[in-house]
């Protein structure tokens, strides 16, 4: 059984869009070849099943209650980080900070305690990653 799971995870990893990390700090090019939709990105970020950013972060969404304070407040994040840096942090934040508690949203291997419905799948698709990045890129001070 473990061998089959390994094969299916390898196949899933091969189906992810390839990306290049530049200087260990950024993924400069969009995973989909185009920028995402910031309105859809806000919906994903506020959603409690997929993005679930609000579980750990505060966002400038006063209508959303119970915002997190475990991770940094994301108000003004685009004034501190460029799109490529934001993209890397959504794709796999452990490449920036190996000790972070933030999950990798575009990774399928080397993960623990994965929800059964997400085994072999990234939490977000490449398009959804770009939507979230597009939304975060609007958060300037």
Residue 24's region, left for phi above 0, alpha for psi from -120 to 50, else beta, is: left
pLDDT digits (tens, 9 = 90+) for 48-79: 888 899 999 999 999 999 999 999 999 999 99
pTM: 0.87
Q: Where are the domains of the chain?
A: 2-136
pLDDT digits (tens, 9 = 90+) for 80-123: 999 999 999 999 999 999 999 999 999 998 877 777 887 888 99
- Count of CA atoms in the C-beta half-sphere (13 A) of 46: 14
- What six digits make up the tokens of 126? 């490449």
- 137 vs 55: CA distance, rounded Å: 20
pLDDT digits (tens, 9 = 90+) for 8-32: 444 455 579 999 999 999 999 999 9
Q: Look up the CATH architecture of domain 2-136.
A: Orthogonal Bundle (1.10)
- 25 vs 88: CA distance, rounded Å: 7
- 17 vs 13: CA distance, rounded Å: 9
- What six digits make up the tokens of 47? 């959603």
């Amino acid at each position: 059984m473990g061998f089959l799971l390994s094969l299916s995870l390898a196949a899933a990893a091969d189906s992810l869009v390839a990306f290049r990390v530049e200087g260990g700090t950024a993924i400069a090019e969009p995973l989909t070849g185009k920028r995402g939709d910031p309105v859809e990105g806000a919906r994903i970020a506020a959603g409690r099943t997929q993005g679930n950013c609000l579980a750990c972060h505060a966002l400038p969404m006063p209508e959303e209650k119970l915002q997190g304070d475990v991770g940094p407040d994301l108000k003004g994040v685009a004034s501190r980080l460029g799109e490529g840096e934001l993209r890397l942090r959504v794709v796999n934040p452990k490449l920036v900070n190996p000790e972070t508690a933030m999950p990798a949203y575009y990774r399928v291997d080397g993960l623990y305690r994965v929800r059964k419905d997400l085994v072999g799948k990234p939490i977000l698709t490449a398009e959804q990653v770009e939507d979230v990045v597009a939304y975060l890129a609007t958060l300037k001070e």
